[in-house]
């Protein structure tokens, strides 16, 4: 049943058509991810649905009595009002219910009592989400809800959305978040709105298949068009063939035109190679880090070696940015010793680097000013092109760019410095989905050292090889991959380890013994774990089906080659034998891969059965 239907809607801004006669339907209890490049019209679509933006033509049909809740990236709240007062005054859901939900998002009683102006951006976003939940909407419109959230809050939001009984449309550039929370994907691009069944991974698969089908059809139509045109050119002047020629002209005019669109990933960022540093790049010894009289992190001991790619995680306000600024030399150490290795030069990307751009500079001038003096002019142009600034775009002034475009310029400035150490604080903020994918690929192949903070799990999973968590003023080095870390956080096993670190630190500070920490272990979320396992099982089933198809096709090819081998001799027989050997090797490899997938599937199904029994 439809909650909402959009029929042939169009919207233009200053002569530019943003959305052109697009249609979309949203069903009851449907969870939909919304993706598309910066400036494609995603937020405008939300505002038109919410009735905050007019449209030029078309129709938005809503179910009678439909309640819509819209979580904007930015909103005008009375920041002097206490959060609890605002929620109590504005929401349908009782405040005690909202406080219970707030606990799962990391909100304490203190946060509810504080004026909104005293809360950090991350906590304000959580309050906005709580406000939206309090409206009890039938349809939620969520515009980048994970921005400024830490990992545990993202996981809590993920769990909430997985179990949400209503419908929602979700704009996000976080691939993992979309994969775990949505069951359909809407693409807003080039004036069109297209809906695909399945989450983000299914979307990419379907887009690739659709592109292949359209390419084949376009090729066939082009051949048909060429044959018809040849007939017309040859016989249109001959009286005996004039009628047939005119008939072909009419057929040519009626032939459908197949428009082939590029796949979403277009940007290809190439980071210039950097000089090799000494083995030890950066070292902190017994350092206190902070601002003025305020210590944020204490007793930090850290060694960063050449080639390390470290992902830093932790709660909002835990000190991630403080650590990055200290490593980059942007703020002085309060105490302790910091050493930089041989040939170490650092490029630092701050959360608000785009604000340092000069409005009157062009894109090209901005990149040239920060580029290493050894970088040739063509390489600067190549970097601009890889960040989707092609042709005349490079001469646009900074003042006319969108927030996402400014972020891309600031990113280009950092990468063109050709320094062997990159320290990056939330580099994916404001970037569109395609650029995030391209940046992740580029940093994964970067030949220098990387230290990065990001709330985007897919991005951090791709680029980080070591994980460092900051909590309660301590630096906690996790010996494993980012996947291992995520698994530990989701299961809750890290919580007790870190609580023990905090208890030990408090024991040292409070030798007189004032108060004791709770040793109660966190409850394990069986529902979320079950949901995660179901996703892994679905992926394995898809992989098994792919392997079986590849094996079946290879076996057919092997049978054909065997039959041909019986009928030929000499050099051709030798080539067929080589082909047959290659096909046999492929079958063996695929069968081994299939066996591994089947064993993993059996293990995951057993785990899922156990969780269901215990839930």
> What's residue 125's pLDDT?
77
Catalogue the E-assigned strands of 38-166.
Answer: 57-62, 68-71, 139-143
What secondary structure, in 3-state letters, does 262-287 show? CCCCCCCCCCCCCCCCCCEEEEEEEE
**Rounded to whole angstroms, what are the CA distances from 456 to 64, 121, 425?**
37, 17, 12
Residue 69 CA from chain centroid, whole number: 24
Does position 513 have pLDDT exceeding 60, yes or no?
no
Q: pLDDT tens digits, residue range 63-89? A: 988 999 998 765 566 778 888 988 888
- Residue 499 pLDDT > 70: no
Task: State how far the Cα of 536 lies from the Cα of 388, in Å rounded to an integer.
Answer: 34
State the Cα–Cα distance between residues 111 and 84, nearest whole angstrom: 9
The length of the chain in residues reads 615
What's the rounded Cα separation, in Å, for the pair 191 and 22? 7
Q: Is 169 exposed, middle or buried (0-12, 13-18, 19+ CB in 10 A)?
A: buried
Average pLDDT, the chain: 81
Do 41 and 11 touch, CB atoms closer than 8 A? yes
Of residues 155 and 450, more confidence is placed in: 450
The CATH number of domain 280-484 is 3.40.50.300: yes
Task: Write out 364-402 in H/E/C secondary structure.
Answer: HHHHHHHCCCCCCHHHHHHHHHHCCCCHHHHHCEHHHCC
* pLDDT of 299: 93
Q: What is the distance, to the nearest Å, from the Cα of residue 178 to the centroid of all Cα atoms in its chain?
A: 8
pLDDT of residue 562: 75
- The three-class DSSP label of residue 299 is strand
For the chain, which residues make up each domain, given as ranges?
2-198, 209-254, 280-484, 526-614
Task: Report, as an integer, the average pLDDT of 4-27.
Answer: 90
> 520 falls in which pLDDT band (50, 70, 90)?
very low
Lowest mean pLDDT among 34-48, 112-126, 172-186, 411-425: 112-126
Whole-Å CA distances, 182 to 127, 197, 358, 601: 23, 10, 40, 22
Question: What confidence category does residue 221 fall into, taking pLDDT thresholds of 50, 70 and 90?
Answer: low
**Statement: residue 511 has pLDDT above 60:** no
Higher pLDDT, 435 or 32: 32
CA distance 379 to 484: 38
- Greatest extent of the chain over all pairs of C-alpha atoms, in Å: 112
The phi, psi pair for 40, rounded to 5°, reads -75, -20
The pLDDT of residue 434 is above 90:
no
**Is the pLDDT assigned to residue 540 strictly greater than 90?**
no
Question: What confidence category does residue 497 fall into, taking pLDDT thresholds of 50, 70 and 90?
Answer: very low
Nearest Cα neighbor of 71 from 121, 129, 124, 149 is 129
The answer to which of 35-44, 277-286, 570-579 has the lowest mean pLDDT is: 570-579
pLDDT of residue 518: 40
pLDDT at residue 571 in the model: 65
148-157, 201-210, 258-267: range with lowest mean pLDDT:
258-267
Query: Which value, in Å, is the radius of gyration of the alpha carbons in the chain?
Result: 29
pLDDT at 367: 94
Residue 54, Cβ neighbours under 10 Å: how many? 8
Confidence of residue 548 (pLDDT cuts 50, 70, 90): confident
Which pair of structure tokens corresponds to residue 472? Answer: 């309660």
Question: At residue 123, does pLDDT exceed 90?
Answer: no
Question: Which CATH fold would you assign to the domain 2-198?
Answer: Rossmann fold (3.40.50)
**Tens digits of per-residue pLDDT, 321-369?**
899 999 999 999 999 999 999 999 999 998 878 878 999 999 999 999 9
Lowest mean pLDDT of 146-150, 395-399, 496-500, name the range: 496-500
- When mean pLDDT is compared across 94-98, 208-212, 445-449, the lowest value belongs to 208-212
E strands in 207-364: 280-291, 294-305, 309-314, 335-340, 346-349
Q: Which of 109-118, 127-136, 502-511 has the lowest mean pLDDT?
A: 502-511
Whether residue 598 is predicted with pLDDT greater than 90 in this model: the reply is no
pLDDT at 510 over 60: no
CA angle 194, 198, 199 (to 5 degrees): 95
Q: Tell me, what's the pLDDT at 295?
A: 92
Pick the CATH number of 526-614 from 1.10.3470, 1.20.1280, 3.30.310, 1.10.287: 1.10.287
Give φ, ψ of 516 to 5 degrees.
-135, 150
- What percent of the chain is modeled with pLDDT above 70? 81
280-484 and 2-198 share a CATH fold: yes
Asked if the model's pLDDT at residue 425 lies above 70, the reply is: yes
Is the pLDDT assigned to residue 371 strictly greater than 50? yes
More confident residue, 75 or 90: 90
> Residue 375 above 80 pLDDT?
yes
Average pLDDT over residues 195-207: 84
Are 525 and 495 within 8 A, CB to CB? no
């Amino acid at each position: 049943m439809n909650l909402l239907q959009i029929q042939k809607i169009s919207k233009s801004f200053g002569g530019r058509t943003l959305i052109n006669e697009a249609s979309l339907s949203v069903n009851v209890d449907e969870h939909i991810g919304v993706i598309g490049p910066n400036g494609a019209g995603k937020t405008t679509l939300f505002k038109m649905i919410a009735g905050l933006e007019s449209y030029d033509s078309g129709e938005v049909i809503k179910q009678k009595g439909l309640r819509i809740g819209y979580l904007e990236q930015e909103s005008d709240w009375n920041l002097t009002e206490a959060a609890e007062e605002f929620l109590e005054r504005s929401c349908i859901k009782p405040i005690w219910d909202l406080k219970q939900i707030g606990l799962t998002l990391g909100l304490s009683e203190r946060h509810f009592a504080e004026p909104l102006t005293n809360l950090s951006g991350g906590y304000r976003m959580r309050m906005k989400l709580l406000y939206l939940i309090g409206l009890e909407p039938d349809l939620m419109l969520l515009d980048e809800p994970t921005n400024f959230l830490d990992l545990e809050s993202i996981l809590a939001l993920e769990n909430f959305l997985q179990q949400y009984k209503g419908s929602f449309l979700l704009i996000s550039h976080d691939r993992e978040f979309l994969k775990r929370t949505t069951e359909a994907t809407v693409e807003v691009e080039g004036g069109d709105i297209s809906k695909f069944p399945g989450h983000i991974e299914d979307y990419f698969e379907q887009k690739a298949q659709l592109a292949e089908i359209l390419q084949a059809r376009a090729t066939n139509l082009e051949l048909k068009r060429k044959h018809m045109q040849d007939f017309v050119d040859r016989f249109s002047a001959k009286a005996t063939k004039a009628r047939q020629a005119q008939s072909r002209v009419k057929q040519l005019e009626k032939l459908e035109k197949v428009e082939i669109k590029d796949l979403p990933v277009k940007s290809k960022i190439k980071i210039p190679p950097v000089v090799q540093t000494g083995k030890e790049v950066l070292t902190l010894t017994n350092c206190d880090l902070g601002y003025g009289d305020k210590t944020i992190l204490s007793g930090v001991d850290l060694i960063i070696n050449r080639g390390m790619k470290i992902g830093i995680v932790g709660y909002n306000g835990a000190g991630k940015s403080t650590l990055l600024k200290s490593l980059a030399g942007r703020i002085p150490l309060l105490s302790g010793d910091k050493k930089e290795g041989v040939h170490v030069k650092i490029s630092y990307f701050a959360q608000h680097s785009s604000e340092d751009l000069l409005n009157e500079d062009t894109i090209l001038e901005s990149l040239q000013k920060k580029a290493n003096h050894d970088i040739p002019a063509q390489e600067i142009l190549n970097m601009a092109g890889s960040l989707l600034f092609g042709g005349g775009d490079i001469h646009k002034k900074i003042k006319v760019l969108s927030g996402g475009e400014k972020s891309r310029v600031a990113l280009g400035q950092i990468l063109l410095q050709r320094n062997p150490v990159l320290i990056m604080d939330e580099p994916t903020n404001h970037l569109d989905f395609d650029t995030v994918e391209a940046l992740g690929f580029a940093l994964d192949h970067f030949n220098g050292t990387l230290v990065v903070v990001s709330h985007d799990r897919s991005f951090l999973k791709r680029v980080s090889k070591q994980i460092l968590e900051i909590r309660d003023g301590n630096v906690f080095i996790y010996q494993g991959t980012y996947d291992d870390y995520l698994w530990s956080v989701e299961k809750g096993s890290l919580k007790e380890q870190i609580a023990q670190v905090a208890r030990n630190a408090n024991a040292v500070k409070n030798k007189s013994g004032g108060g004791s920490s709770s040793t109660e272990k966190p409850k394990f979320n069986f529902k979320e774990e079950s949901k995660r396992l179901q996703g892994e099982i679905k992926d394995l089933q898809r992989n098994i089906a792919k392997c079986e198809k590849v094996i079946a096709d290879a076996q057919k090819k092997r049978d054909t080659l065997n039959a041909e081998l019986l009928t030929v001799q000499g050099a051709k027989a030798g080539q067929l034998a080589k082909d047959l050997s290659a096909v046999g090797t492929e079958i063996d490899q695929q069968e081994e891969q299939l066996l591994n997938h089947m064993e993993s599937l059996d293990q995951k199904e057993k785990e899922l059965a156990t969780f269901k029994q215990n839930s």
